[in-house]
């Protein structure tokens, strides 16, 4: 897992009791349980992780345009043309 960001949250007293009990039963830290709960919640909402392969493909396309250099007679495309790609 990457770099972690510190967050301070407020939870109810009964949530703290359940969190401590779950941490004891699973031998996980309370923070790890909270991270897992966030992951589960966002996945159930249809949240998707970023597709690294798609981003790399776009970067390669952009690099091809950069490598081609300036267009001699100016650009021949319109902004909307980019959405057809």
Average pLDDT, rounded, for the chain: 85
Residues in contact with 28: Cβ distance below 8 Å, sequence separation at least 6, in sequence order: 22, 36
pLDDT at 78 > cutoff 60: yes
> What percent of the chain has pLDDT above 70?
88
What is the model's pLDDT at position 31?
95
Cβ-count burial 5-29 (b if 16+ within 10 Å, e if not): eeeeeeeeeeeeeebeeebeeeeee
What is the model's pLDDT at position 18?
96
What is the model's pLDDT at position 27?
94
What pLDDT, in 10s, does the model give residues 13-54?
Answer: 999 999 999 999 999 999 999 999 998 888 867 656 667 888
pLDDT at 59 > cutoff 80: yes
């Amino acid at each position: 897992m990457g770099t972690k960001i510190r967050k301070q949250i407020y939870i109810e007293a009964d949530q703290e009791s359940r969190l401590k009990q779950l941490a004891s039963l699973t031998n996980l830290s309370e923070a790890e349980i909270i991270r897992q709960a966030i992951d589960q919640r966002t996945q159930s909402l249809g949240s998707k992780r970023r597709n690294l392969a798609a981003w790399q493909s776009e970067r390669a396309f952009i690099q091809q345009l950069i490598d081609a250099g300036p267009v001699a007679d100016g650009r021949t495309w319109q902004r909307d043309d980019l959405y057809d790609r």
